[in-house]
Amino acid sequence: MPKLRVGIVFGGRSTEHEVSVTSATTILKALDPARYAPVLIGVDHEGRWHVAETEHQLLPEGVFASSAAVATFPSAGAGLELREIRDGDNALQAPLNVIFPIIHGRGGEDGSLQGLLELADVPYVGPGVSNSALCMDKTLTKRVLRDAGIPVVPSREASRHELLRDSNAFVQVVEQEFGYPVFVKPSNTGSSVGITKAHTRADLLESINIAARYDFNVLVEPALSTREIECAVLGGHAPEASVLGEIISAREFYDYEAKYVSDDTQLVIPAPLAAERADQIRSLALEAFRALKCWGMARVDFFVERESERAWVNELNTHPGFTDGSMYPRLWEASGIALPELLDRLIELALERHREQRSLEVRFRS
């Protein structure tokens, strides 16, 4: 059987660029060389796309250093430019059979890359356009989950536009409903970028300004005294939930520093929880995955109150980290699915969805 050509799209114009490069390296090493011919497609900080055959340039950094850009997008400020790729130029001489997008955050897991891949009619790993977009937006995620009866932390939102006109009304509502401390977040974010904890009114005003720099919408939630529990979900029509993991951060909360810089953050697998509680959380993870009509993979993150062990879904990450130390692959490893098998399953799910999509009627026949 010919090898499946897998395009690994990584990097990106995002605060999580470096994590993505490491994730791509891990995936590349774990793909079974007997079954797959991987092609690295690196998106640099300026939004330019570079291609390399892995045989020649194993290190993702090598892609950026030594290859000419094959595509740039308007976000790069240069206007859309897709160069013709001639014979001998690079690895894209033969079509790719499936794409593994591993760009975190904006432009990678927010539905925009998925839209491009839909238009190109290429199968791709992970959830589709609308599901990826919904999961990137904290406000919209909560609405869908609430509608499905899944517990989420109460919140108040306001648009940057409203806040610029009058933040007092919003501040009053927040104070009446939640008091302090509260968490203030851009609705559309990742890696804790733009998220702060406000202890006073002055803090709150400053936090709103910070969050509004990153998105048009700002979200405020009461600060809970919680544990942070994560569950990995894998599958399509019959998704499965992994064992649970716990994140223990030595900092005030699990901020950018704790995620990527500090050595003091611990991942505990399995999370020490009573079996019944763990089962309940795993069921909630599956319900959340289904409510958002996800496909392929998502890491479902929970807040679990210390005393009562009451659980809320915090968010779904549709393109979780895939580095050696990342929670998603580690949770599956602990659940009996090692990384090469996990990748096989994700790729098979991408092909399955594409086959199903192809089976849909695109013309109306009366």
Ligand X SMILES: Nc1ncnc2c1ncn2[C@@H]1O[C@H](COP(=O)(O)OP(=O)(O)O)[C@@H](O)[C@H]1O
Q: Which residues bind ligand X (CB under 6 A)?
A: 153, 183, 185, 189-192, 195, 221, 223-224, 226, 228, 253-254, 301, 314-315
Task: Write down the least CB distance from residue 285 to ligand X, Å.
Answer: 15
Which amino acid is located at 64 in the chain? F
- C-alpha torsion 62→67→69→71, nearest 10: -80
Of 110 and 301, which CB lies nearer to ligand X in the complex structure? 301
Between 156 and 277, CB nearer to ligand X: 156
Chain Cα centroid distance, residue 76: 22
CB of 128 to ligand X, least distance (A): 20
At position 37, the amino acid (one-letter code) is: A
HSE-CB for 351 with a 13 A CA cutoff: 12
- Report the distance separating Cα 270 and Cα 309, nearest Å: 16
Q: Which is nearer to ligand X, 39 or 273 (CB)?
A: 273
CA–CA separation, 79 vs 69, rounded Å?
14
- Minimum CB separation of residue 290 from ligand X in Å reads 21
Contact 67, 52 (CB under 8 A): yes
Residue closer to ligand X (CB basis): 70 or 247: 247
Q: Min. distance of Cβ 312 from ligand X in angstroms?
A: 8
Three-state secondary-structure class, residue 179: coil
Q: And the tokens for 227? A: 């544990």
Residue 241's H or E segment, with its range, is strand 240-248
Which CB atom, from 90 or from 155, has the smaller least distance to ligand X? 155
| 89's tokens | 């130029």
Distance CA 121, CA 357 (A): 10
Cβ(332)–Cβ(234) under 8 Å?
A: yes
**Residue with smaller CB distance to ligand X, 15 or 57:** 15
Q: Minimum distance from CB of 136 to ligand X (Å)? A: 9
Question: Shortest gap between Cβ of 227 and ligand X (angstroms)?
Answer: 10
Give the residue nearest to ligand X (CB). 254
Distance of closest approach, residue 98 Cβ to ligand X, in angstroms: 27
Contact 127, 117 (CB under 8 A): no
Residue 232 tokens read as 């990995």
Nearer to ligand X, 64 or 312 (CB): 312
Q: Of 44 and 109, which CB lies nearer to ligand X in the complex structure?
A: 109
DSSP, collapsed to helix, strand or coil, labels residue 10 as strand
CB of 184 to ligand X, least distance (A): 9
Measured CA distances, 100 to 72, 168, 350 (Å): 19, 45, 9
